[in-house]
Amino acid sequence: MHGRTRMARLTPRLSAVTAVVLSATLLAGCADDGGGSSGKDGEVTLSVGVFGVFGYKQAGLYDAYEKLNPHIKIKENSTERNEDYYPALLNRLSANSGLADIQAVEVNNINELATIQAAKFVDMSKADGVDGKDYLPWKWDQAKTEDDKVIGLGTDIGPMGICYRKDLFDKAGLPTDREEVGKLWEGDWAKYVDTGEDYMEDAPKGSSFTDSAAGLYNGALSSHAKKNYDEDGELIYKDSKAVKESWDLAMRAVDGKMTGKLKQFDTSWDQGYANGTFASVICPSWMLGYIKEKAGPKNADQWDVAPAPKPANWGGSFLTVPEASKNKDEAIKLAAWLTAPEQQAKLFEKQASFPSSTKALELPAVKSAKHEYFDNAPIGEIFSDAAKDMPTAILGPKDQIIGEQISNGILSVEQQGKSPDSAWSATTKKIDDVLDE
């Protein structure tokens, strides 16, 4: 569910093995887990198709629901990576078979489905007990089709902050208090790069200001509403102001030698956390757990988190109910229940999935949440604030692949010393080829 599936690759190497092939593409295309089925005595088995770790099972939500509704049994089918899960889902949709009763969809894919496959999904806005006003407006709109049908209910979101190391900031002569740090770059991503320049002037040996230029690009881009597509669904990434500005920022960062030249979610990125080779990273809420694990007890008390220059989102998912589900009504009920504020709050407590429901954001368990590893930073407050001011991003069907190619382009400048111009033209050429323009 987490955005780490975004342009990131979870353990790239190993999961590439998984990916190896439509792995799931098809794998699922008709894998064993068909839809749910109705047994005797009105007992219903609902299947839920997810990717990665959604945490419903781990947080005990399925058990709770089964207790509330004794005639329901819930079975979860999980595919490790969205890169495998999504093609499989597409295949099942076009075959109209093998679909689970509830299918999770990642934010990068929801638009494609709402655009081309809307008819295959139930309109969730009409479901009992679902009120669009309960959700963050931008999240609600992302799953909306042209004719105002809503094909998925928001689960979590990924509001971004900046995670930074106080020890390194201190040595470089920068403030370490999170409010002061936040002030350094408040309101403008360019200020984040300015700070980087300051940092590099007096940088502790062997350290860089930020982990990767592509991460910076992703953060800066995400705070814009209009990115790769315009309101009419036209592909405009080549002339998009957001893309241009973010690209230029990334180039400035490379030029200032303030990046660790790392590929996010790569093994060496992990090792960078363990060894403290970079001082800051743009981190959505779901990344905090990852950092804690990778930086480890050795680096406890060093990390803190401050607000990002501008509110931006990275990742998050939706729950959809395919029309082909054999237990549509029960599935809709379950999807609505799983995304209701109380359950979102519980999931936040247990799995740190940040709620997309406005009501859940107001609950004390969320609002006043602190993260111990990050020096008790008030993450509830920091991320809630970011969530509320988020722009309604315009999504397009090929956002993911465009993002991946641009990351590669940035990496080729960063690691291989290509000139920004030639990297840009190579990138656009590749994207054209991929999209078959």
Partner 1 sequence: MTSQDMRSAPATSAAGAGTSPPGPDGADEREKRRAARRSKWYQRDAKWSPYAFISPFFLFFAAFGLFPLLYTGWASLHRVSLHSPTEMEWVGLHNFTRLLQDEYFWNSLSNTFVIGIISTVPQLLMALGLAHLLNYKLRGSMFFRVAMLTPYATSVAAATLVFAMLYGRDFGMINWGLGLFGIDNIDWEGGSWTSQFAVATIVIWRWTGYNTLIYLAAMQSVPNDLYESAALDGASRWQQFLHVTVPSLRPTILFTVVISTIGSTQLFGEPLLFGGSPSGGASNQYQTLGLYLYEQGWTNFHLGRASAIAWMMFLVLIVIGLVYFLVAKRLQKSH
Partner 2 sequence: MAVLTSATPKEEAPGEGDGKRRTRTRGKAGRHLYAGWFTYVVLGFFTVGSLFPLVWTAIAASRDNARLAETPPPFWFGGNLGSNLQAAWTDANMGKALINTVFVAGTVTVSTVLFATLAGFAFAKLRFRGSNILLLLVIGTMMVPPQLSVVPLFMAVAELEWTNQLQAVILPMMASAFGVFFMRQYLINALPTELIEAARVDGAHSLRLVWHVVFPAARPAMAVLGMLTFVLAWNEFFWPMIALTQDNPTVQVALTGLGRGYIPDQSVIMAGSLLGTLPLLIVFAVFGKQIVGGIMQGAVKG
- Considering only residues 45, 176, 275, 428, which one is a binding residue for partner 1 as defined by CB under 8 A? 275
Q: Rounded to the nearest whole angstrom, what is the least distance from the CB of residue 286 to partner 2 in the complex?
A: 10
Q: Confirm or reject binding of residue 4 to partner 1 (CB under 8 A).
A: no
Indicate the length of the chain as a whole number.
437
Binding to partner 2 (CB under 8 A) within 295-334 occurs at: 296, 298
Binding marks (x or -) toward partner 1, 19..58, rule CB under 8 A? xxxx--x---------------------------------
Binding site partner of 90, from partner 2, partner 1, none, Cβ cut-off 5-8 A by kind: partner 1
CA–CA gap between residue 315 and residue 106 (Å, rounded):
7
For residue 154, the cross-strand partners are 318
Q: Confirm or reject binding of residue 45 to partner 2 (CB under 8 A).
A: no
Structure tokens at 435: 């999209």
Residues 6 or more apart in contact with residue 199 via CB below 8 angstroms = 169, 172, 174, 209, 258, 279
Alpha helices in 312-398 (DSSP H): 328-338, 341-351, 358-362, 364-367, 379-388
Give 313 or 405: the residue with its C-beta nearer to partner 1. 405
Burial class of residue 33, CB neighbours in 10 A (0-12, 13-18, 19+):
middle
CA–CA gap between residue 209 and residue 163 (Å, rounded):
11
- Considering only residues 3, 5, 6, 15, which one is a binding residue for partner 2 as defined by CB under 8 A? 15
CA–CA gap between residue 139 and residue 393 (Å, rounded):
9
Q: Rounded to the nearest whole angstrom, what is the least distance from the CB of residue 94 to partner 2 in the complex?
A: 13
CA–CA gap between residue 290 and residue 281 (Å, rounded):
12
Pair type for strands 44-51 and 72-79: parallel
Considering only CA atoms, which of 301, 62, 275 is closest in space to residue 176?
A: 301
Give 392 or 422: the residue with its C-beta nearer to partner 1. 422
Q: Confirm or reject binding of residue 434 to partner 1 (CB under 8 A).
A: yes
- Considering only residues 41, 232, 436, 437, which one is a binding residue for partner 1 as defined by CB under 8 A? 436
Q: Rounded to the nearest whole angstrom, what is the least distance from the CB of residue 16 to partner 1 in the complex?
A: 4
- Stretch (H or E) spanning 244: helix 241-255
Q: Confirm or reject binding of residue 412 to partner 1 (CB under 8 A).
A: yes
Q: Confirm or reject binding of residue 22 to partner 2 (CB under 8 A).
A: yes
Residues that bind partner 1 (CB under 8 A): 9, 11-17, 19-22, 25, 83, 87, 90-91, 94, 261, 266-268, 271-272, 275, 277, 401, 404, 408-409, 411-412, 415-416, 418, 423, 426, 429-430, 433-434, 436
Residues that bind partner 2 (CB under 8 A): 10-11, 14-15, 17-18, 20-23, 25-27, 29-32, 53, 78, 80, 267, 270-271, 273-275, 289-290, 293-294, 296, 298
